[in-house]
Structure 1
């Protein structure tokens, strides 16, 4: 009886250790994002979908370690260091703060980034072809010039355009400077109000309204995007036109938005990750960018904000919300 019991115990232990070894031997990808901003969530979903579509499933033939920094730079830095200590095979950094943290944490583990407005400013390299040997990814510089051209058509008399920004995010500072530069070409003055964290978005949006602006063009940054609906509420209460810097903003109070499909961006990032997993060297893969500017419109919100869109833009739009029942923002108000 004792021999049988010992035999069964040995079999159980062998299954345990074999299973454990098999799990540890899986190619491990550490994926992290700065916070729960809608555009970052879309990127993450796109990455995972690209892996899935190409036959890579979490827990089957790869291991995904997914983390969220909850809007904290120290937490993002801790996660990057955690990935290094775990000896992951690859890091996918979703957002500028995550890329910066990954670059500090390791110079050996491949880093694939996404949703980074200016990767060169973040330290990834000098150009799309000349970048760090372990780093590549998808840049997300937004279509600021096209957005202002759109705003001027929708609101021809606009002179003062307001925006919030987050000084602790270099991508936000970059977008603010880009908005100022491009705004001048359209005769627009950019009126800005800085915020320190997402809890300040509502009050700062109210401060911005009091600066006698003609409209808000909210530049895209991680902190503000996570609390974009606060900006939408203030715009609605004051009947001030609100234009977003990311597509999902039309679900959160913007009458219109020009930008990238962040799920598509994530998918493109996932495809790069697959190439690196398959043996390609990141230094040989040029940093990519998005090309198709998409247009989303919310007609019920636009009507409340005093905006009418031309037939040209109605035809160009990739998505149009035509009724309040289909608008998450208005139905929740």
Structure 2
């Protein structure tokens, strides 16, 4: 009986050791990763895909890792409910996509590591002590876009433009920051500007219509609410010969004239690589600086179909270097 019991204990220990780690030491069979995404639109979806690919490539797959993906459908109360769930479930790491989602989950835990993406300025958003030295349980990859270059693009595509609207959601910290940068860039470019804000999706059509006849173009940064409602903006604006320069490629696909912006899939991969280092015990969130994509990973995208609809001639040199949407 003693021999049988010893054998049983040994077998149990062996199974326990097997369950706690993979053969290459990169993953734990009990690893739990929670994911909260603010809403569904191409940029945030790409950030999720890039993150998952980075973890899968590092050995964290569905075979040995539990992934709990939750989408808040752009509802802040949903963000809080999801954040409570992900924290109470005891996840080893939480990936938060977009500023409101990140703020919700960071307000629920100071212990679970949180990696964010599609957050323009984590320090300004109250998520970290500083972007260089987070000092909290939060780190991640910023989606700070080249706003001044986007305003320059507007000038190249629309050389006769004199006054623009800077349109954004007044409740998104990331959008407020980019709008301030856009104001500075517009002044330097010799453009007048008018501020146009929305606070919910029901306002998008009305605010867009209010700009007709007042401005020559609309600039929209990487704003989550307007990215989700870009087709509404474009339907009104393009029908009234009011071109939109936007913050990212997905918004261009949905009716914007063009953008010079970051690749959100690569942004997600960058965040995923940070998460891998944390899960592997190589780093902590507190000591991992906020990461930024290099300038060479920014891409020029032109919607030629919209340009043709509005009678805008795109300079040949821009077309040659751009991703062109027909």
TM-score norm. by structure 1 comes to 0.85
Matched, 1:202 2:202: no
Residue 213 in structure 1 maps to residue 218 in structure 2: no
Give distance in 2, aligned partners of 1:189 and 1:245: 19
- 1:29 equivalent in alignment to 2:22: no
Matches within 5 A, 1:1-333: 26-58=30-62, 60-210=63-213, 212-279=214-281, 280-291=283-294, 292-317=297-322, 319-322=323-326
CA-CA distance at 1:306 after TM superposition = 2.8
1:78-118 CA-partner distances (Å, limit 9, x unpaired): 21121111111111111011111122111111010001011
Mapped partners of 2:216, 2:258: distance in 1: 15
What stretches of structure 1 of length at least 5 have no aligned partner? 1-17, 323-333
Query: Aligned partners of 1:111 and 1:93: how far apart in 2?
Result: 7
- Quick check: 2:134–2:288 contact (8 Å CA) kept in 1? no
Cα deviations by residue, 1:237-288 (Å, 9 ceiling, x for unpaired): 1122221111112211112111111011111111111111000212232210
Q: Contact between 2:134 and 2:285, CA under 8 Å: does it hold in 1?
A: no
Aligned CA-pair RMSD: 1.9
| TM-score normalised by L of structure 2 | 0.87
Tell me how far apart the structure 1 counterparts of residues 232 and 219 of structure 2 sit (CA, whole Å): 14
SS of the aligned residue for 1:194 comes to strand
Confirm or deny: 8 A CA contact 2:33 2:95 kept in the other structure: yes
Distance 2:226 2:136 in 1: 32
Q: Which runs of 5+ in 2 are unaligned?
A: 1-15, 21-27
**Residues 273-307 of structure 1, C-alpha deviation per residue, up to 9 Å, x if partnerless?**
11110002122322101222210112121122232
Q: Residues 29 and 90 of structure 1 are in contact (CA less than 8 Å); yes or no, is this contact kept in structure 2?
A: yes
Aligned to 1:101, the other structure's residue is in SS state helix
Instruction: Tell me how far apart the structure 1 counterparts of residues 324 and 29 of structure 2 sit (CA, whole Å).
Output: 47
Q: Distance in 2 between matches of 1:193 and 1:121?
A: 22
Q: Secondary structure at the match of 1:217?
A: strand
Report the number of matched residues. Answer: 300
Aligned to 2:9: none
**2:29 and 2:56 mapped to 1: Cα distance?**
19
